[in-house]
Amino acid sequence: MTIRFDDRVAIVTGSGAGLGRQHALLLGRRGAKVVVNDPGGSVNGIGGEHAVADRVVEEIKAEGGQAVASYASVADMKSAQSIIDTAINAFGRLDILVNNAGILRDKAFNNMDMEDFEAVMQVHLMGSVYCTKAAWPIMREQKYGRVIVTTSGSGTVGNFGQSNYGAAKMALNGFINVMRTEGAKYNIMLNAISPSARTRMTEEILPEWVLEFMRPELVSPAVAWMASEKCTVSGEIISATAGSFSRVKYIQSEGVQFDPEQPVTIEMFEDALDKIMDLSHSQPHAMSLQRLETRLRAMGKLK
């Protein structure tokens, strides 16, 4: 059955260009009323231009959809609150928040000013936190909400020169892991998209043969599904690029279990290192308490 968003209101931050624009266009096409949020600055977050958000609003309207622009930055609480207020003032409710806004300030850590580190943390991490904070009471009250954050392989895998970006993106995974537990009883689901796509962020870095396949609109169906009533998962990371979709999960090696009633030495750790590092019998990373219980039972330490 066709998945639609009639009577749903969505905010897509940073949707004046790139991936966010495609998410906003898809949601708008499927009936959502959309707040197109974008201050319209450069890739490193300098400057601004209203026309960037306005153009996407016009595109959505031209396709028969409903949209309004917000030019506010996600990067401070008051301004983020105004984005949520725009949705309420224009459309009377808020169901979907796609935290997509982002900037880059790449440099090797040795040469990176703390100002550039903090600016990236502020937009990616705190921007998502501020918008979610402002949306939370509304979603809780109506017992419905879909929140998507935008993570990156720069965090989960690592990428030279992106210590600020990788740290912020990885922190978002931690944020949704906790928030999914707090949102569950209010039917608020929080998931992450880990995209790779041709945008101004990647155009200069990736080779043309791969960019040609990495159309940003190929990421949006996963975002839209996570934003829909059909979404059945929370706290998940979906990787999406060039028509491929997969689940990202942390794994944990089988490792070793020493007798916790006996001393453990540094040398015992060193001697067991191969087994600790060996991922051949790895499992999805779980809360250590559950794991410990299983192991201690197996050792006959627990009744």
Which residues sit at the interface with ligand NAD, rule CB under 6 A?
13-14, 16-20, 37-41, 43, 45, 73-75, 100-103, 123, 127, 150, 152, 195-197, 199-202
CB contact at 8 A, 188 and 235: no
Q: State which residue has the least CB distance to ligand NAD.
A: 18
The residue among 88, 188, 102, 99 whose CA lies nearest residue 145 is 188
Smallest separation, CB 232 to ligand NAD (Å): 24
Parallel, antiparallel or unpaired: strands 237-241 and 188-196:
parallel
Q: Which is nearer to ligand NAD, 14 or 183 (CB)?
A: 14
Residues classed as catalytic: 165
Smallest separation, CB 202 to ligand NAD (Å): 4
Sequence-separated (6 or more) residues with CB below 8 Å from residue 57: 36, 67, 68, 69
Helix (H) or strand (E) holding 266: helix 266-271
Q: Which is nearer to ligand NAD, 32 or 98 (CB)?
A: 98
Q: Which is nearer to ligand NAD, 17 or 179 (CB)?
A: 17
- Write the DSSP string, 274-286: HHHH--TT-EE--
User: How long a stretch of residues is the chain?
Assistant: 303
CB contact at 8 A, 233 and 191: yes
Q: Which is nearer to ligand NAD, 144 or 190 (CB)?
A: 190
Q: Which is nearer to ligand NAD, 75 or 144 (CB)?
A: 75
Q: Tell me how far the alpha carbon of residue 122 is from its chain's centroid.
A: 14
Smallest separation, CB 196 to ligand NAD (Å): 4
**Which tokens hold the place of 262?**
């006996």
The residue among 16, 204, 208, 211 whose CA lies nearest residue 100 is 16
CB contact at 8 A, 112 and 166: no
Residue 236 gets the label, from left (phi > 0), alpha (psi -120 to 50) or beta, of beta
Smallest separation, CB 271 to ligand NAD (Å): 40
For 73-181, list the strands marked E by DSSP.
96-99, 145-150
Q: Which is nearer to ligand NAD, 144 or 152 (CB)?
A: 152
Smallest separation, CB 217 to ligand NAD (Å): 11
Smallest separation, CB 249 to ligand NAD (Å): 18
The residue among 43, 56, 104, 100 whose CA lies nearest residue 74 is 100
